[in-house]
Amino acid sequence: MKPILKRRNGYALSFAVSICLAVWLGVKLMLEAVFVFGAISLISLLLLVRESRLLYDATLIWDNRIIAVPSALISIPGCQIKKDVVETVVSTFGILIGSEIYRWGLGGIHGVRLRSAHIDQERMYLTFGDAAQTMRVELLHGMTKKQMVLEAAQKMLHETGVMADITGWQLK
With cut-offs at 50, 70 and 90, classify the pLDDT of residue 77: low
**Average pLDDT estimate for 142-161:** 85
**Amino acid identity, position 134:** T
With cut-offs at 50, 70 and 90, classify the pLDDT of residue 58: very high
Q: Around Cβ 148, how many Cβ atoms within 10 Å?
A: 13
Q: Classify 134 in phi/psi space as left (phi over 0), alpha (psi -120 to 50) or beta.
A: beta
With cut-offs at 50, 70 and 90, classify the pLDDT of residue 171: low
131 vs 112: CA distance, rounded Å: 8
37 vs 44: CA distance, rounded Å: 10
12 vs 107: CA distance, rounded Å: 29
Residue 83: pLDDT above 60?
no
Decide: 18 and 40 in contact? Cβ < 8 Å.
yes
Q: What are the tens digits of pLDDT across the range 5-41?
A: 999 999 999 999 999 999 999 998 888 999 999 999 9
CA-based end-to-end distance of the chain? 38
Decide: 69 and 115 in contact? Cβ < 8 Å.
no
114 vs 102: CA distance, rounded Å: 10
Q: Which pLDDT score is estimated for 35?
A: 93
**Average pLDDT estimate for 113-126:** 87
Torsional sign, CA 90, 128, 4, 106: negative
Q: Report the share of the chain in percent with pLDDT over 90.
A: 30
102 vs 162: CA distance, rounded Å: 17
Q: Which pLDDT score is estimated for 19?
A: 95
**Amino acid identity, position 127:** T
